[in-house]
Structures are given as C-alpha cells and as structure tokens.
DNA sequence: CACGTGACCGATT
DNA sequence: AAATCGGCCACGT
C-alpha cells in the first residue's frame, strides 16, 4: 500500500485484505490506514463506497462485534456475514474472539 | 478559513 | 451493565 494514497484508497486496500469468514473493526482499519483515531471516517468511507464495488464492506463491525448499521442495511450485512459462515445473533452481534482478523 | 457531521472509541459515571 | 461524555479527524458546505 502506498503512503501517498488518500485515506479512502487506504481503506479500500485494507478492506480487500480481510479474508472471507473474518471481520475487523472500524478502529483497526483506521489504525492500519495510519490514523488510529479516525474510526468514524472509516464508517464514512464505507457509506460512500463506489457503486458496484466488490469490496467486503460487510466484514466491518464495531469494537464490540456489533453491526453498526440500521434498517435494511443491517439486514443485508447480517445476511452477507451468515453467507460466509459467520454466526450473527438476532441482535446483530458476533463473537469477536472467534472471527476477528489481525495481520 | 470555520463550522457541522458522523456505519467510532475509551474512559467515566 | 448500561448510559453518557469528550475526543477524534476526514469531508462537505
């Protein structure tokens, strides 16, 4: 990953590296992107992901393992996670000790 | 340049 | 255990 990439570009690269069946957190992505305190911006980037990108946006949850999305988006994320074998409770929480990805 | 806004986080009630 | 509070910082206006 190139240091003069923009913040969104860095986020894209990191996202692409998350293996199927694993998740990571907004804060971790921010740290990997070189801005440890920019977790909220990671959320902002994901929200504005280019139309039709194949990036696994659904593999990002908050530090507690909770899906930070609401409404129909929440349902889509849960569906996508379950589809790759990740167990998600009905309230939208996953077991971080089991699924969290670190390099 | 100066705000206001968050798909957040950690510490503190 | 749950709610609240500040801080955070990229981005848009």
Tens of pLDDT, residue by residue over A66-102, are 999 988 999 999 999 999 999 999 889 999 999 999 8
Top-tier CATH class for A7-99:
mainly alpha
| Percentage of residues in chain A having pLDDT higher than 90 | 84
Nucleotides of B under 7 A from a protein CB: 6-10
Report CA(A53)–C1'(B13) in Å, whole number.
43
Count CA atoms within 13 Å of residue A28 on its CB side: 19
Q: Is the pLDDT of residue A2 over 80?
A: no
Please state, in angstroms and rounded to a whole number, the distance separating the CA atoms of residues A77 and A60: 9
Q: What is the pTM of this model?
A: 0.93
Of the pLDDT bands very low, low, confident and very high (cuts 50, 70, 90), residue A51 is: confident
**Which of A28, A31, A30 shows the shortest CA–CA distance to A42?**
A30
């Amino acid at each position: 990953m190139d240091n003069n990439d923009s913040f969104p570009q860095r986020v894209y690269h990191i996202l692409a590296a998350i293996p199927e069946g694993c998740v990571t957190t907004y804060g971790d992505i921010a740290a990997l992107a070189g801005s440890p305190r920019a977790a909220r911006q990671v959320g902002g980037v994901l929200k504005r992901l280019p139309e039709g990108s194949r990036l696994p946006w659904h593999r990002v949850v908050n530090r507690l393992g909770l899906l930070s999305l609401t409404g129909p988006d929440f349902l889509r994320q849960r569906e996508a996670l379950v589809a790759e074998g990740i167990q998600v409770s009905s309230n939208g929480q996953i077991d971080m000790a089991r699924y969290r990805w670190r390099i």
